Structure 1
Amino acid sequence: MLRRPPVDLEIVVPAFNEESRLPGTLTEVVGYLESRPWSSAIVVVDNDSVDGTLEAVGRFAHSPVKTYAIGCSEHGKGAAVRRGVVTSTARYTGFIDADNATPIASLDQVMALLRQGYPAVIASRRAVGARYEVEQSLVRRGGGWMFRAAAHLLLPDIADTQCGFKFFDGPLVRAVAGNCHIKGFAFDVELLAQIDRAGRRIAEVPVVWTDVPGSTFSARRHGLRSMSDLVRISLSR
């Protein structure tokens, strides 16, 4: 199903070859959501996987929290997130990573801020009070430092643009995401930059973050593309 029935909260999970990590993440997310008072749903956006990702989602067909799978033939995390977001009808919607690196219980604070009227609430590994449970490798930390320095020029008030745990007012993010064009990992920056340019406040919440093995991001394969995408975002002002 492409456009889903409305709920209070819909969580988008972009997935590319995530058959091994996805079941554990979905189990934790479903367990968390079924204990909360909001109506909710999960949508996994399969980014043209060639493994058993869809079969993994299928195991949750009778979950107490409705769990959907939709496809996205355009490659890239940004393309997958955009497809999930723009086809949502939820009051609030956002996305998490398939590796569950940010504890799903962080949504307690996120939802409280959204209900207070914040249009965008994002997890941060660098806000005061945040910490790393398990650090990234030295290579990924080095690449992340360069990307972060460049992204800071576009979003000087945001400490961490890349933590994969971001939630928004539904109508706002659908309108903004529909005008985004970045397909890769710099999509987060483009989305936040458009929200910031519209004069809407972005709140950061500190989280405990764990580096989970198996990331599809490669500094060698994706680093240069991500940096060039930042240039595109800057020029699109």
Structure 2
Amino acid sequence: MVFELTRPPVDLELIVPAFNEERRLPSTLRVTIDYLAARPWSSAVVVVDNDSADGTHDVVRRFADSPVRVHMIGCSDHGKGAAVRRGIATSSARYVGFADADSATPIETLDRVMALLDQGHRVVIASRRAPGARYEVEQSALRRCGGWMFRRLARLTVPDVADTQCGFKVFDGPLVREVLPDCRIDGFAFDVEILASVVRRGHRVTEVPVAWSDVPESTFSARRDGLRSMADLIRLSLSR
């Protein structure tokens, strides 16, 4: 594990935002590192500790001798969006993406994502709504209802993106760092804001189908985060 804010450039840097993820993070890091170590591109994993109060810090320390470099940086501003922006802003990678700490999206999705990026696509995201996608483990009825409402509001801002909230997205590095100053949302609607900023610059978002699994113990709270996210989406749609 490397505690450096300034990191050497690589082909791909994968950001993992983490808030109290000591239980789910170990398996995610092991699977991710094993996968990346077998790929031809240079890569690194960046865990952004979003002011965790558990042993997240100690978990990352165990990967100090990993064949793929694992960096850890902090983010005192609360919220997944704040953590992801912190990782992007400090990256110099050719491609930079982020993935959730729960491994809901198979890391093997990167095979297709990287191929598309190398072909010239600037933004490639995992999608549970693209043709060929499927749910390995379905969400609860409450989460499905909330997701339906979120999608309806998100399409007011990015109408051509079917699934803005699958937590697995990879960007052309210079492009996403260019749009970052336009982004302010710290909560779970931050994805929509970044995608909208990219689309406004004339770039297309490419969606790839995934076999996605709902994972228990999500840090998302429908009561705490749901209303805030909806309000952020409404503000985004009004600012278009």
Shorter-chain TM range is over 0.9
Measure, in 2, the Cα distance between the counterparts of 1:102 and 1:184: 20
Give unpaired runs (5+ residues) of structure 1: none
Residue 63 of structure 2 is aligned to residue 60 of structure 1: yes
SS at 1:204 equivalent: strand
Shift of 1:175: 1.3
Q: Which residue of 2 aligns with 1:138?
A: 141
Residue number in structure 2 paired with 1:38: 41
Give a deviation string over 1:120-152, Cα, whole Å, max 9, x none: 000000100000000011111111110111101
Is it true that 1:87 corresponds to 2:90 in the alignment? Answer: yes
1:234 to 2:230 alignment = no
Deviation per residue, 1:98-132 (Å, 9 max, x gap):
00000000000000000001000000001000000
Confirm whether residue 172 of structure 1 aligns to residue 175 of structure 2: yes
Secondary structure of the structure 1 residue equivalent to 2:76? coil
1:16 matched residue in structure 2: 19
Report the RMSD for the aligned CA atoms in angstroms.
Answer: 0.7
Amino acid at match of 1:9: L
User: For structure 2, which runs of at least 5 residues remain unmatched after alignment?
Assistant: none
**Following the alignment from structure 2 to structure 1, what is the Cα–Cα distance between the partners of residues 73 and 109?**
25
Counterpart residue number, 1:197: 200
1:97 equivalenced with 2:103 (yes/no): no
CA distance in structure 2 between the partners assigned to 1:200 and 1:166 by the alignment? 15
How far apart are 1:179 and its partner, in Å?
2.1
- Relative to the length of structure 1, the TM-score reads 0.99
* SS of the residue 2:108 aligns to: helix
The count of aligned residue pairs is 237
Q: Distance in 1 between matches of 2:124 and 2:131?
A: 15
Instruction: Give structure 1 regions of 4+ aligned residues with deviation exceeding 3 angstroms.
Output: none
Q: d(CA) in 1 for partners of 2:103 and 2:181? A: 26
The answer to whether the 8 Å contact 1:82/1:178 transfers is no
Cα distance in 2, alignment partners of residues 34 and 40 from structure 1: 8
Query: TM-score under structure 2 normalisation?
Result: 0.98
SS in 2 for 1:11: strand
- Tell me, what secondary structure is at the counterpart of 2:101? coil
